Structure 1
């Protein structure tokens, strides 16, 4: 696909659409739009221009211009992605959704919230809570990630084991299509099989099929009682082998997370605070919620007993907000804490069937020893999603890229042999497009390419993400 450069004429037309103040070209101002949270400079690329529209109508006009001029568009939310999904690989324009940050409606009768894509996930959660309701999407980056980015990557997060990933909470979308047309599918109907399931095609499409401009989020009553457990184990295998026992005990935890020793130590350094049993080989962190205090207490006692019977060193129970926050700080700071061990790293997002997590972690340990590198791991034990992070440490550039390539090749092979896949929640972006091309069958790829070609015939929407550049 051949694209054109941004011209002065195009810049003038963009300014006429969004206003001069919302078209950025100054290098200092646009530098922050050249990357997301991927730490490797390999995944940094300067845009030619950054445009900040205020509504769907302005986005529609921008997309029509881009199609006319054959200029690529990279949609961008909060820039908290971990797959280089918002990086303008081949220049063109970054279309930032930061100005579209309104909560448009909270419908307490139908239990829906209608929002623009630039609202942070944390603000969605807080607003729902102020009405006595719950928005169950809960990525670790909730305070800074945009809900539009969660939709683009079908973000998972801590509560996915009970409440599901983002797609479960999306019932309607307004989208500016690659043609510039504005379409709406779904809404407040909780059952709707009218036509193709366009809503869930768009969720997880990473800005390659259109730009989401309005989102209908499903809410639910806020659980009355919540308790959290922090359970240290002497070694990772003992910790992770208790997970299937918890999942088959007749209890559905809200969250079921794990951290290995390196992750615990990194969190301790980052928080500058001594953690309980910080020399443990692993943590299991579990949350239970419900409408009955007795039921929640019975559930955490059952889980605590299971853990102690299977090698837990101790079971810490937090049943008030202050102590719950202390437990979760260590887990939620993982990405920031890893930088304390190595400023440059490669965080992976592999997923395997829950029963195969022990084998996946064994494979990660073997690879770590083979290449003499550190690979701290943590993640969502309840749904098989493992964040294994390769640390660069003091290697030079060539050594780092050789190490990363070798480790990723073996990691992905091990994961696929266990029935797993490349990404559980961070998305493919540019970072894993080559790997997806390698591990998917040609028939699978042809289906994806056909959808892309049908909806975006000029290929202007976020090129090089999900599907590698041809």
Structure 2
């Protein structure tokens, strides 16, 4: 694509909108925004200017300037993406949402919360909890990620098996479209059949169709009874076979998290904790929530029976130490390699056991280091693949070879490339390769119609000439 550079004239126009102190061009600042949490330096690109708006109107004005001068804009939340979704591929403007961080309203009768896009997810969860309610969106990076990024990527997380992903937690959004117009989409209604569902079109579009600036989020009653169980296995097949049995038993768990022994050991070491069966344990962490103590007791008894029937070596209560280890999984792998990539495959829940077993076996053919964890209850599995002592070209060759097996296999099972991390820039070519041509063309048609200048987060999800 052909874009114009950010000139002094553009910078002056941006300063008039947000103030000079909110427009940054210093090299050290630009370098900080060349990447997200993806550990693949060849995906990184420097922006030309970093801008921090303080209101929806300022975001709209920035987009109008960008269209006028044909300068690309890359919206950025907290930068916790691992798919290069916030990387400015063509330079231009990085638009930070961090100043727009207010929680504007908590309506306990209507059971919704209104927040700006820069509000921290953990702060939203805490604000809801203070009112005896729960915001069910719960990505593993909740302590640092922002709600706008969750919405843009349709983030998943630990509670998705019961409550759904981020898009299921939203009544309405306010968004700035690529042309600078402000759209108010959706409403706090239980049902609506009035025209196209445009709020859901913007949610999950990874900032390519609009910049979400505000959201009305659904809240649910906070279940008073909860118990987390750690089921420890020493056999991979038995550990992965647990999920279908939980579903058949009608337990309706809030979350089911899987960790292979590589992650158990690395995350335990990183957390400075030693959990049961550190040396050989494979973990399934199961959460149950209920509104009566009697129901909790019944479900826990049934859960223990299912775990034991599947061959669990140990079934114990999972305390905060277990969840700390789970949260530190990805961070813990950085001691092994600073060059790594995270796969985010998703398959039907009934295929999760088969998929993990097959891909773990396939990975033994390669020289890289590979760890596996999964949001097993919703079929979403992550492989953290780390470069070891090998030349760059050999790393790229082996990685491509593994993907050439894994991706067609996942699609054969009825799965897709990404369950929650998104396509971003990282999986752009694979999206073109594996997506149905009619579906892909429809996406490109929508993008061209909404963003004719192609300036909003270009080369994310799809490439449009």
Q: TM-score range by the shorter chain?
A: over 0.9
Cα distance per residue 1:307-348 (max 9 Å; x no partner): 112210010124xxxx2x212111111110121332221101
Matched-pair contact (CA < 8 Å) for 1:230–1:285: yes
Matched-pair contact (CA < 8 Å) for 2:368–2:386: yes
- SS at structure 1 position matched to 2:267: helix
Please tell me whether residue 24 in structure 1 is matched to residue 24 in structure 2.
Answer: yes
Q: Which moved more, 1:356-365 or 1:434-443?
A: 356-365
The alpha-carbon deviation at position 195 of structure 1 amounts to 1.3
Q: Distance in 1 between matches of 2:32 and 2:399?
A: 25
Q: Distance in 2 between matches of 1:413 and 1:389?
A: 19
Q: Distance in 2 between matches of 1:14 and 1:374?
A: 45
The alpha-carbon deviation at position 374 of structure 1 amounts to 2.4
Paired residue for 2:460? 465
Q: Which moved more, 1:199-208 or 1:189-198?
A: 189-198
Cα distance per residue 1:197-222 (max 9 Å; x no partner): 00110110000001011100000111
What 5-or-longer segments of structure 2 have no aligned partner? none
Q: Distance in 2 between matches of 1:468 and 1:357?
A: 31
Paired residue for 2:377? 382
The alpha-carbon deviation at position 294 of structure 1 amounts to 1.5
The alpha-carbon deviation at position 281 of structure 1 amounts to 4.3
Paired residue for 1:452? 447
Cα distance per residue 1:365-410 (max 9 Å; x no partner): 2321112332210011111100011110222322222222222222
The alpha-carbon deviation at position 358 of structure 1 amounts to 1.9
Q: How many residues align?
A: 465
Matched-pair contact (CA < 8 Å) for 2:330–2:384: no
Q: Distance in 2 between matches of 1:74 and 1:409?
A: 30
- SS at structure 2 position matched to 1:300: helix
Q: Distance in 1 between matches of 2:169 and 2:40?
A: 33
- SS at structure 2 position matched to 1:454: helix
Q: Distance in 1 between matches of 2:406 and 2:250?
A: 33
Please tell me whether residue 435 in structure 1 is matched to residue 430 in structure 2.
Answer: yes
Cα distance per residue 1:245-302 (max 9 Å; x no partner): 1111011000011001111111112112111111234110000001111211211221
Paired residue for 2:366? 371
- SS at structure 1 position matched to 2:175: strand
Please tell me whether residue 421 in structure 1 is matched to residue 387 in structure 2.
Answer: no
The correspondence for 2:393, drawn from 389, 398, 401, is 398
Paired residue for 1:105? 105
Q: Distance in 1 between matches of 2:288 and 2:160?
A: 13
Paired residue for 2:351? 356
Matched-pair contact (CA < 8 Å) for 1:232–1:280: no
Please tell me whether residue 15 in structure 1 is matched to residue 10 in structure 2.
Answer: no
Matched-pair contact (CA < 8 Å) for 1:82–1:347: yes
Paired residue for 1:411? 406
Q: Distance in 1 between matches of 2:52 and 2:147?
A: 17
Please tell me whether residue 232 in structure 1 is matched to residue 257 in structure 2.
Answer: no
Matched-pair contact (CA < 8 Å) for 2:136–2:219: yes
Paired residue for 2:290? 290
Cα distance per residue 1:44-95 (max 9 Å; x no partner): 1110000000001111111001001110000000000010000000101000
The alpha-carbon deviation at position 469 of structure 1 amounts to 5.3
Q: Distance in 2 between matches of 1:143 and 1:393?
A: 30
Paired residue for 2:69? 69
Please tell me whether residue 248 in structure 1 is matched to residue 248 in structure 2.
Answer: yes
Matched-pair contact (CA < 8 Å) for 1:154–1:204: yes
Please tell me whether residue 338 in structure 1 is matched to residue 333 in structure 2.
Answer: yes
Q: Distance in 1 between matches of 2:138 and 2:250?
A: 23
Cα distance per residue 1:426-461 (max 9 Å; x no partner): 000000111010001211111000110111111101
Paired residue for 1:219? 219
Q: Distance in 2 between matches of 1:360 and 1:42?
A: 29
What 5-or-longer segments of structure 1 have no aligned partner? none
Paired residue for 2:163? 163
Q: Distance in 1 between matches of 2:120 and 2:464?
A: 31
The alpha-carbon deviation at position 187 of structure 1 amounts to 2.5
Cα distance per residue 1:135-157 (max 9 Å; x no partner): 00000000001100000010010
Q: Distance in 2 between matches of 1:407 and 1:298?
A: 44
In the TM superposition, 1:77-116 aligns within 5 A as: 77-116=77-116
TM-score normalised by the chain length of structure 1: 0.97
Cα distance per residue 1:95-150 (max 9 Å; x no partner): 01010000010011100100000011111101100111100000000000110000
Q: Distance in 1 between matches of 2:452 and 2:361?
A: 45
- SS at structure 2 position matched to 1:338: helix
Matched-pair contact (CA < 8 Å) for 2:4–2:69: yes
Paired residue for 1:54? 54
- SS at structure 2 position matched to 1:315: strand
Q: Which moved more, 1:386-395 or 1:226-235?
A: 386-395
- SS at structure 2 position matched to 1:423: coil
TM-score normalised by the chain length of structure 2: 0.98
